[in-house]
Amino acid sequence: MTGIEKELKIKISGEIQANRPEPIVTDIEVVIYKQRMTPKFAVDALEEGYSVLIVDFYSSGLAVLNELKQYISAKYPDQSFQGQREARAAFRELSQKLFLKISNHKILVRKAPEIGWLKILYPELTVFLLPFSQVQGLNSAWQWYEKGIFIPVLRKKIHPWYGTYFPTRFEHLELFENWLKEYKGKKESAIDVGIGSGVLTLQMLKHGFGSICGTDSNPNAIIGFDEYAEQNQLKSKITLSHGDLFDGCKSSADLIVFNPPWLPASYNPGGIDSAIYYDEDLFSRFFTEASKHLNEGGRVVVIFSNLARITNHETIHPIENELAVGERFVKERFIDKQVRAASKNSRRNLERRSDEKVELWVLRPVVR
């Protein structure tokens, strides 16, 4: 393959730059694939290091990806957690070399979906290539954005922006909702660390909090919730900041809420993966900063899960560890809730799901 991938970024909402699938705007050598060829031909080309371009039907790319999944499944038969992680990494690496051509914000194959993100995220480009799997992700994200996802505790839909984490299960939101109903502390201010699609912030506003500072290291989360706040006349109550943990929140708060990633990272997570996997120093940094941003009489609520521990029994629980050695907070309350049974169509490990619980930790500062 020749050519260098050029990094292009766009500016939205002031100086915030949106994350987007990286386009290829230079000439590269590709193997042309059409339906009259067998999907195995394309998979063999990918395995040999070639890039493959779908040129006829969108369904041709789907057939190649399906063949690739079968190939990877046979090559990586280990069904353990680590084995499946390796299989996903191998699939990801090869699928990134299967391309579609985009022209004037349209996909240049027949029967392709209309994806609004192509115009929103790439306004300055007329012709470029994107990996087929990334186009699939853009398409799914566009469907969620347009149709919305109903959040039971809010009794309404949210419309998550591209590349932003949003909940598909709701037990942890139910825990937080029930706790908010009983909360008797001050409600003048709150900080939502890692605001994501904004559900926790919307729950706090629903229960009478006056002002909320929301932060997120993912610029798309800030862009998306800023758009939502504008459309729903919430700008006067919400301050948003793109940055790490408490960056941009200059004042202290009565309540600090944190719904962190639930799994320890074995690599450097980026993009939306940073909403799923946490670095080893994340919790230490969070609790250090939380102790500085909490008003007198305030509380810290951390929403977590036992998923990492039931996956690997040697995993250190980061909140239990903080309480044992941090000398900054003490536990005021702990509530957990069994997650609902997985659908029969779920790809999740059903046995592990039966042991999974979500957790809500209420912490107060140590009195010196």
Structure confidence at residue 203 (pLDDT): 97
Question: Which SS3 state, helix, strand or coil, does residue 244 take?
Answer: coil
The residue type of 259 is N
pLDDT digit string, tens, across residues 291-312: 999 999 999 999 999 887 787 6
Q: What are the backbone angles phi and psi of residue 358, rounded to the nearest 5°? A: -95, 150
User: What is the torsional sign of CA 147, 148, 151, 155?
Assistant: negative
Q: Examine the pLDDT at 9 and tell me if it is beyond 50.
A: no
| pLDDT confidence tier of residue 274, bands split at 50, 70 and 90 | low
| pLDDT confidence tier of residue 262, bands split at 50, 70 and 90 | confident
User: What is the torsional sign of CA 94, 4, 10, 247?
Assistant: positive
Which has the minimum average pLDDT: 11-25, 211-225, 239-253? 11-25
Question: Residues spanned by CATH 3.40.50.150 within the chain?
Answer: 149-365
Q: What percent of the chain has pLDDT over 70?
A: 88
Structure confidence at residue 327 (pLDDT): 87
Structure confidence at residue 326 (pLDDT): 82
| pLDDT confidence tier of residue 170, bands split at 50, 70 and 90 | very high
- CATH superfamily of this structure's domain 149-365: Vaccinia Virus protein VP39 (3.40.50.150)
Q: At what angle do helices 282-293 and 318-325 cross, to 10 degrees?
A: 60
pLDDT, averaged across the chain: 87
* Over residues 28-45, mean pLDDT: 91
As a whole number of angstroms, the distance between CA 122 and CA 148 comes to 23
Q: Which of 187, 224, 209 is nearest to 298 (CA)?
A: 187
Q: What percent of the chain has pLDDT over 90?
A: 70
Structure confidence at residue 367 (pLDDT): 79
User: Own/partner pairs for 123-128, CB < 8 Å, 24+ apart?
Assistant: 123/10, 124/8, 124/10, 125/8, 125/23, 125/25, 127/25, 127/101, 127/102, 127/103, 128/23, 128/24, 128/25, 128/101, 128/102
Structure confidence at residue 164 (pLDDT): 94
| pLDDT confidence tier of residue 234, bands split at 50, 70 and 90 | very high
H helix intervals, 213-312:
219-231, 282-293, 307-311
Q: Which of 280, 329, 335, 287 is nearest to 308 (CA)?
A: 280
As a whole number of angstroms, the distance between CA 244 and CA 329 comes to 21
Q: Which of 135, 231, 156, 241 is nearest to 195 (CA)?
A: 241
As a whole number of angstroms, the distance between CA 105 and CA 114 comes to 9
Q: Examine the pLDDT at 272 and tell me if it is beyond 70.
A: no
| pLDDT confidence tier of residue 348, bands split at 50, 70 and 90 | very low
Structure confidence at residue 313 (pLDDT): 62
